[in-house]
Chains A and B, each alone.
Chain A
């Protein structure tokens, strides 16, 4: 409570100074609201660009999932190799999560850093599409690797911009909006890439690597769009710095690897819970389309829609659930509920033929709930100067887990089918109870 009041005071301080500063600099030309960096309309414009900054990266991240059958058929892959495309996205982030903040603060600066990472995202997606066009799987893996370098760090940059431009109670809303835009990107991807592919196939003449490559190049346009947003944001930020005499934003992260030895046991439990949970969500969505087609007799378009419902639900649910968790506290109980709900959803999908919309909606709600309840727990467990290291570590372990489990999931599916894969995910989630019960006791 105390530091909220403190933040309020700082905010009022900030607001009052621009007018004084402006008159001090002798610039009395009154700027219109939309051009004035200290006023809300301009910041709303900046918010729009900030939200679309991550759109391209989230759109292209799930391209393989949206085009799963086409990728496997056109390039003659098996499911294990297909999941490598997700694994290669995660590998660079095992290491980069630690250094992302450092790079943005000390090496590049937020503006240049954002542009560089956006470039990586763009170039990565283009390499990926080129690999598909020329039917070179190693090139596609390289493309995903480069894409991965840019993708996660771009999220850090996005958060830094948000903290720099919006303070206090606006920040939660901005974070919520950014997350929603990210989810919107994933949803749009799931639902239109199939249509894009079919249209391209008509133009090219037949499905095949060329069609796949062309569709992915079209998807790269969103990354280009994000790059443009990064450039515009850089310009607007520099302009605001000049007008308001502000400092360039910093992530505020200080990564000291030696802090790791001070982490309490409960924090390690939170890390394990984080990994164990997300590996039962993202690889499942990656492989979900064919599951819904085969088991529930959905058409490809329907299957993609139900696959994307997790993201669609988490867009509005995240701010709402965040509010609820903030009000009630007791994060561990909420995490437990999220885990129970996810287990129920996976069991429904595995052991029954009930309409998968129900299970996937439940999965969407529980996924949002966990995100709102788990990540803030870290802030309660470590002092502020170690927070950067803790979050970096958490991201790093999460990416490592995702990379490994993505490959394992593909291999399991190839040899033993969907039921065993679902049972495997259920077992992952069940192991969480074990760790959660320790957390409750401590």
Chain B
């Protein structure tokens, strides 16, 4: 079961925790119950620390398939997931070609025939605009964008199954843009809001804008991402509504940027997020700020490949779409109020995870709604029996 959950109101939810642990995992989560074996490798087969950025390879081996997660900070930060149908596939890196960044083939997954699907997400730019009239319409007053390939990226820091990467630049002041990749071996739910439900086929990326110096008092930010979907590009964003906001209070929607398989409603890969960002590290309900996305549009493949070493090395043909996620709505506080924004997304293959109720809510519903119904039925039956037993009372009593 997922690691011990830290909640803000411990007293009430010790009970919840006990109940959760006593329910079998199959009741929780709408995803497949794979468990994968994870192995992490930093800069595989490299004789020295590569200049300019790291490459992290996580191998998640299932029963008869493997997911290769590649997280690279050479150029723009890029996450690549390759799904193969054998548990013996491996990643080969030709570091000279990889670091030269002008030919493809520097990174390959062997055997090539086992590759089922690959999806990559590139964080290309951070845009900032001056929202003078507090309309949150990002169509004018843009400051020069930050190209994320030009940031000074720190070395990847690894702890548990997470990798932290921070980028700094003099224009940020003392601030940084941090990205945390988490890879999972089974189903579960993250501990901090928005508590996205993940499966063994997904990875989670958290984006933090931490202490960045805004260039105006009314600045708002947009994050531009580009995605490569192998044969099926990520062409549309689905928005799904659901009634349970238990894990992300006041958010009833989830957005999924999917790559639909031609001719069907199946999807082969996805980027999933909830339309909320938080303005504090340990957020409360009122620190939530909504976010919006723009429609996915085709991007120039050559420019993307030039900005990201991983894209250049792995993909030979580039079928790239991109979108912006903008943080904040009209009336919401600006970035300057807390100088912190955090936003979380899931990237994975297959169908996106579907949220379900927690056992405690189901239990309350069953007890709370079921018991009175039963009581009502029983009570009604009893009253009817009581009335029938009384019979019709005689108005006149016999005198003797």
Q: Which residues of A contact B (CB under 8 A)?
A: 72-73, 76-79, 207, 290-291, 294-295, 350-353, 411, 413-420, 423-424, 426-427, 430-434, 437, 440-441
Contact between A433 and B286 (Cβ–Cβ < 8 Å)? no
The segment out of B25-33, B96-104, B367-375 that lies at the interface is: B367-375
Contact between B372 and A433 (Cβ–Cβ < 8 Å)? yes
Q: Contacts of B9 on A, CB cut-off 8 Å? A: 411, 415
Contact between A417 and B379 (Cβ–Cβ < 8 Å)? no
Contact between A414 and B249 (Cβ–Cβ < 8 Å)? yes
B389 at interface by CB-CB < 8 Å: no
Known pairs A79-B286, A351-B243 / 14 extra A-B pairs, C-beta < 8 Å: A79-B285, A414-B249, A415-B8, A415-B9, A415-B13, A417-B245, A417-B247, A418-B245, A418-B249, A423-B364, A427-B364, A432-B372, A434-B371, A434-B372
A415-B7, A415-B9, A441-B383 given as contacts; is B376 within 8 A of A433 (CB)?
yes
B359 at interface by CB-CB < 8 Å: no
A413-B285, A415-B7 given as contacts; is B250 within 8 A of A423 (CB)?
no
Q: In the complex, which residue of chain A has the Cβ closest to the Cβ of B379?
A: A437
Q: Contacts of A411 on B, CB cut-off 8 Å? A: 9
Q: Contacts of B247 on A, CB cut-off 8 Å? A: 417
Contact between A433 and B250 (Cβ–Cβ < 8 Å)? no
A427-B368, A430-B371, A440-B383 given as contacts; is B241 within 8 A of A353 (CB)?
yes
Q: With A and B bound together, what is the CA distance between A79 and B249 in angstroms?
A: 12
Contact between B246 and A419 (Cβ–Cβ < 8 Å)? yes
Contact between B375 and A437 (Cβ–Cβ < 8 Å)? yes
A423-B368, A430-B371, A441-B383 given as contacts; is B249 within 8 A of A73 (CB)?
no
Q: Which residues of B contact A (CB under 8 A)?
A: 7-9, 12-13, 241, 243-252, 284-286, 331, 333, 361, 364-365, 368-369, 371-373, 375-376, 379, 382-383
- Chain B CB within 10 A, most for which of A416, A432, A434: A416
Contact between B248 and A73 (Cβ–Cβ < 8 Å)? no
Q: How far, in Å, is B16 (CB) from chain A's closest CB?
A: 9
- Contacting B286 at CB < 8 Å: which of A73, A294, A351, A440? A73
Binding site secondary structure of chain A: helix
Contact between B249 and A417 (Cβ–Cβ < 8 Å)? yes
Q: Contacts of A413 on B, CB cut-off 8 Å? A: 249, 285
Q: With A and B bound together, what is the CA distance between A170 and B383 in angstroms?
A: 39
Q: Contacts of B245 on A, CB cut-off 8 Å? A: 294-295, 417-419
Q: With A and B bound together, what is the CA distance between A424 and B373 in angstroms?
A: 17
Q: With A and B bound together, what is the CA distance between A374 and B376 in angstroms?
A: 20
Q: Contacts of B8 on A, CB cut-off 8 Å? A: 415
Q: How far, in Å, is A339 (CB) from chain B's closest CB?
A: 9
Q: Contacts of A351 on B, CB cut-off 8 Å? A: 243
A78-B285, A419-B244 given as contacts; is B379 within 8 A of A440 (CB)?
yes
Q: Contacts of B285 on A, CB cut-off 8 Å? A: 78-79, 413-414
Q: Which 7 A-B pairs have the closest CB atoms?
A: A417-B249, A433-B372, A427-B368, A417-B245, A437-B379, A294-B250, A430-B372
- Chain B CB within 10 A, most for which of A207, A352, A433: A433
Contact between A417 and B246 (Cβ–Cβ < 8 Å)? yes
- Jot down 16 A-B pairs with beta carbons below 8 A, ordered by A: A72-B286, A78-B285, A351-B243, A352-B243, A413-B249, A414-B284, A415-B7, A415-B9, A416-B246, A417-B250, A418-B245, A420-B361, A423-B361, A426-B368, A437-B376, A441-B383
Q: Contacts of B249 on A, CB cut-off 8 Å? A: 413-418
Contact between B365 and A294 (Cβ–Cβ < 8 Å)? no
Q: With A and B bound together, what is the CA distance between A440 and B380 in angstroms?
A: 10
Q: In the complex, which residue of chain A has the Cβ closest to the Cβ of B241?
A: A353
Q: Contacts of B248 on A, CB cut-off 8 Å? A: 417
- Chain A CB within 10 A, most for which of B368, B371, B375: B368
Q: Contacts of B373 on A, CB cut-off 8 Å? A: 433
Contact between A430 and B383 (Cβ–Cβ < 8 Å)? no
Q: With A and B bound together, what is the CA distance between A76 and B373 in angstroms?
A: 43
Q: Contacts of A290 on B, CB cut-off 8 Å? A: 250
Q: With A and B bound together, what is the CA distance between A79 and B286 in angstroms?
A: 8
Q: With A and B bound together, what is the CA distance between A418 and B247 in angstroms?
A: 10
Q: In the complex, which residue of chain B has the Cβ closest to the Cβ of A300?
A: B331
Q: How far, in Å, is B13 (CB) from chain A's closest CB?
A: 8
Q: With A and B bound together, what is the CA distance between A432 and B379 in angstroms?
A: 14
Q: In the complex, which residue of chain B has the Cβ closest to the Cβ of A415?
A: B9
Contact between A430 and B244 (Cβ–Cβ < 8 Å)? no
Q: Contacts of A419 on B, CB cut-off 8 Å? A: 243-246, 361
Q: How far, in Å, is B293 (CB) from chain A's closest CB?
A: 16
Q: How far, in Å, is A74 (CB) from chain B's closest CB?
A: 10
A295-B252, A418-B250, A437-B376 given as contacts; is B368 within 8 A of A353 (CB)?
no
Q: Contacts of A424 on B, CB cut-off 8 Å? A: 364
Q: With A and B bound together, what is the CA distance between A427 and B372 in angstroms?
A: 10
Q: How far, in Å, is A214 (CB) from chain B's closest CB?
A: 18
- Contacting A78 at CB < 8 Å: which of B13, B286, B369? B286
Q: In the complex, which residue of chain A has the Cβ closest to the Cβ of B243?
A: A351
Q: Contacts of A414 on B, CB cut-off 8 Å? A: 249, 284-285
- Chain B CB within 10 A, most for which of A411, A430, A441: A430
Q: How far, in Å, is B174 (CB) from chain A's closest CB?
A: 24
Q: Contacts of B369 on A, CB cut-off 8 Å? A: 426, 430
Q: With A and B bound together, what is the CA distance between A302 and B361 in angstroms?
A: 30
Q: Contacts of B13 on A, CB cut-off 8 Å? A: 415
Q: In the complex, which residue of chain A has the Cβ closest to the Cβ of B12?
A: A415
A413-B249, A426-B368 given as contacts; is B286 within 8 A of A77 (CB)?
yes
Q: How far, in Å, is B269 (CB) from chain A's closest CB?
A: 28
Q: Contacts of B365 on A, CB cut-off 8 Å? A: 423, 426
Q: How far, in Å, is B189 (CB) from chain A's closest CB?
A: 14
Contact between B368 and A350 (Cβ–Cβ < 8 Å)? no
Q: How far, in Å, is A124 (CB) from chain B's closest CB?
A: 26
Contact between A294 and B252 (Cβ–Cβ < 8 Å)? yes
Q: In the complex, which residue of chain A has the Cβ closest to the Cβ of B247?
A: A417
Q: How far, in Å, is A279 (CB) from chain B's closest CB?
A: 15
Q: With A and B bound together, what is the CA distance between A266 and B243 in angstroms?
A: 38
Q: Contacts of B243 on A, CB cut-off 8 Å? A: 350-353, 419
Q: Contacts of A353 on B, CB cut-off 8 Å? A: 241, 243
A78-B284, A79-B286, A417-B250 given as contacts; is B375 within 8 A of A434 (CB)?
yes
Q: With A and B bound together, what is the CA distance between A294 and B285 in angstroms?
A: 12
Q: With A and B bound together, what is the CA distance between A207 and B337 in angstroms?
A: 14
Q: In the complex, which residue of chain A has the Cβ closest to the Cβ of B374?
A: A433
